[in-house]
A and B are shown apart, each in its own frame.
Chain A
């Protein structure tokens, strides 16, 4: 097996070889570094590739005992986590004072992976301050889609999705406030898990909108995500209640909800996305799942209104105080979004928070009737770099930022975990862009999502 082949192995297989000392940590790290260095910045994936530190750590692991389930497994993180001794930029200008100060401690989620033996390769490019959907970064370069470099990877965790897609890491961490893990996973053809808030410690992760943020892993498959879940879930810092059924549920017998209108509004749905999701539904049904049409307790427009009002207001507050003076150094799009946030009144912010409370309450009742809810991850596929609007089959246009989050926001506002996995490309378009399908569960339902997601990805392979 060549190093290039090793870098694309399933995570569990790579970890088994590493724990068995059949492959050294230095070889594993070297295999991923080789792919990262061969890219030579073409995809603008990295903000700081820490090759020397990673190889030194790998050497220490090789010289010592096996440290844990992820012994020697190379991983990387969105440049949005505090890391001891590393200057976290959050995707913003290195001229900002905050980017000049080395981190004082390492974020809890990163620390947990390292304690399990994983090796940090470096930090990944993102949409500036995680506040956007394209990862077209004015300071660190426009992250390129691995399937078509003229297109965006999605965001804000764009570098995190591209790094695993291109075999530069086995696992990456991102953050998801309004879809920032699932969107790039969908557009890059990889898998991403947005967890119940608190199910992975947010400690040491820079906030975008602290009541909606959650940390999430990305990997090439759901099975890979599952291989890391055992480690990441130990960091839970919130009041996460395990709500999984006592007995494991497979697709046979699972009740899968489909929101009325999600798949029938074909005038505003990429036909390739509709076909991909229909294929996933058919596979689940053939495996014995029951498909149930459901309604959410709020419309998409209501969800968007509340979610964006909260995000804008909280982000504007995060970037107030000492950070306000630095705003002129931010990219134009982020400056504008923060200005929108400055205009949200306390009245509207509170109204949005109270509506969210009622939405969470009513959503819990929906999950009395279904185990998971399935939808497209995004209604469109990866957009060209620089595109500002999406043109739908019915001729209407919609801003990219609002279009791509149509199916994503509901689970941030609802506090539910959601898993994105590939269900394409479209068989009618060989070599076409990836399509993603999303499964969501009630709070604490990560185990159920990983089990059903693994089964579904096996059927779609």
Chain B
């Protein structure tokens, strides 16, 4: 998490408190890395992945 400078982020940090802000950082740190460059964060998740089409995907 960057050090906020804009007023909204500063206010959010004040409201979240140090413990809350640390929780958000810990959550983010718990997300496994996804290295596959073709795995875009798009497409409806309702659609089974094998039926999705990704024209740019060479596989």
List residues of A whose CB falls within 8 A of some B CB.
Answer: 196-199, 211, 238-241, 243, 298, 301-302, 304-306, 308-309, 312, 324, 335-336, 338-340, 342-345, 348, 350-358, 360-361, 364, 414-415, 442-444
Task: Tell whether, in the assembled complex, residue A238 and residue B46 are in contact, meaning their CB atoms are under 8 Å apart.
Answer: yes
Top 5 closest pairs, chain A to chain B, by CB: A353-B41, A305-B30, A342-B12, A415-B45, A339-B15
- Contact residue among A238, A324, A336, A345 (Cβ-Cβ distance under 8 Å from B44): A238
A302 to B15, CA, bound (A): 26
A240 to B45, CA, bound (A): 9
Q: Which of A199, A338, A360 has the most CB of B within 10 A?
A: A360
Task: Tell whether, in the assembled complex, residue B20 and residue A339 are in contact, meaning their CB atoms are under 8 Å apart.
Answer: yes
25 A-B pairs (CB sep. < 8 Å)? A197-B44, A198-B46, A238-B46, A241-B46, A241-B51, A298-B32, A304-B30, A305-B28, A309-B27, A312-B24, A335-B15, A339-B13, A339-B15, A340-B12, A340-B21, A343-B4, A344-B28, A351-B31, A353-B41, A355-B31, A355-B32, A357-B39, A358-B34, A358-B36, A444-B48
- Contact residue among B23, B31, B47 (Cβ-Cβ distance under 8 Å from A443): B47
Known: A197-B46, A350-B41. A305 touches B31 (CB 8 A): yes
A304 to B24, CA, bound (A): 12
A140 to B33, CA, bound (A): 42
A352 to B27, CA, bound (A): 10
Task: Tell whether, in the assembled complex, residue A343 and residue B31 are in contact, meaning their CB atoms are under 8 Å apart.
Answer: no
A339 to B50, CA, bound (A): 37
**Residue numbers in A under 8 Å from B21 (CB-CB):** 340, 343
Task: Tell whether, in the assembled complex, residue A339 and residue B12 are in contact, meaning their CB atoms are under 8 Å apart.
Answer: yes
Interface assignment of B2: CB less than 8 Å from any CB of chain A: yes
**Residue numbers in A under 8 Å from B20 (CB-CB):** 336, 339-340, 343
Distance between B40 CB and nearest chain A CB, rounded to angstroms: 7
**Residue numbers in B under 8 Å from A335 (CB-CB):** 15
For the residues of A in contact with B, the DSSP-based class is helix
**Residue numbers in A under 8 Å from B43 (CB-CB):** 357
**Residue numbers in A under 8 Å from B8 (CB-CB):** 324, 342
- Contact residue among A196, A197, A241, A343 (Cβ-Cβ distance under 8 Å from B24): A343
List residues of B whose CB falls within 8 A of some A CB.
Answer: 1-2, 4, 8-9, 11-13, 15-16, 20-21, 23-24, 27-34, 36, 39-41, 43-51
Known: A343-B12, A354-B34. A415 touches B41 (CB 8 A): no
A353 to B24, CA, bound (A): 16
Task: Tell whether, in the assembled complex, residue A239 and residue B44 are in contact, meaning their CB atoms are under 8 Å apart.
Answer: yes
**Residue numbers in B under 8 Å from A361 (CB-CB):** 39, 49
- Contact residue among A338, A351, A364 (Cβ-Cβ distance under 8 Å from B33): A351
A444 to B48, CA, bound (A): 9
- Contact residue among B16, B27, B51 (Cβ-Cβ distance under 8 Å from A308): B27
- 19 further A-B contacts with Cβ under 8 Å, apart from A348-B28, A355-B32, A357-B34, are A196-B46, A199-B46, A238-B46, A301-B30, A304-B27, A305-B31, A306-B31, A308-B27, A339-B11, A339-B20, A340-B20, A340-B24, A342-B8, A342-B16, A351-B31, A351-B33, A354-B41, A357-B49, A360-B49
Task: Tell whether, in the assembled complex, residue A240 and residue B15 are in contact, meaning their CB atoms are under 8 Å apart.
Answer: no
Give the nearest-CB partner of B30 in chain A. Answer: A305
**Residue numbers in B under 8 Å from A301 (CB-CB):** 30
Q: Which of A241, A339, A361, A364 has the most CB of B within 10 A?
A: A339
Task: Tell whether, in the assembled complex, residue A354 and residue B48 are in contact, meaning their CB atoms are under 8 Å apart.
Answer: no
- Contact residue among B1, B40, B46 (Cβ-Cβ distance under 8 Å from A240): B46
Task: Tell whether, in the assembled complex, residue B27 and residue A356 are in contact, meaning their CB atoms are under 8 Å apart.
Answer: no
**Residue numbers in B under 8 Å from A360 (CB-CB):** 45, 49
Task: Tell whether, in the assembled complex, residue A302 and residue B30 are in contact, meaning their CB atoms are under 8 Å apart.
Answer: yes
Distance between B52 CB and nearest chain A CB, rounded to angstroms: 9
Task: Tell whether, in the assembled complex, residue A351 and residue B28 are in contact, meaning their CB atoms are under 8 Å apart.
Answer: yes
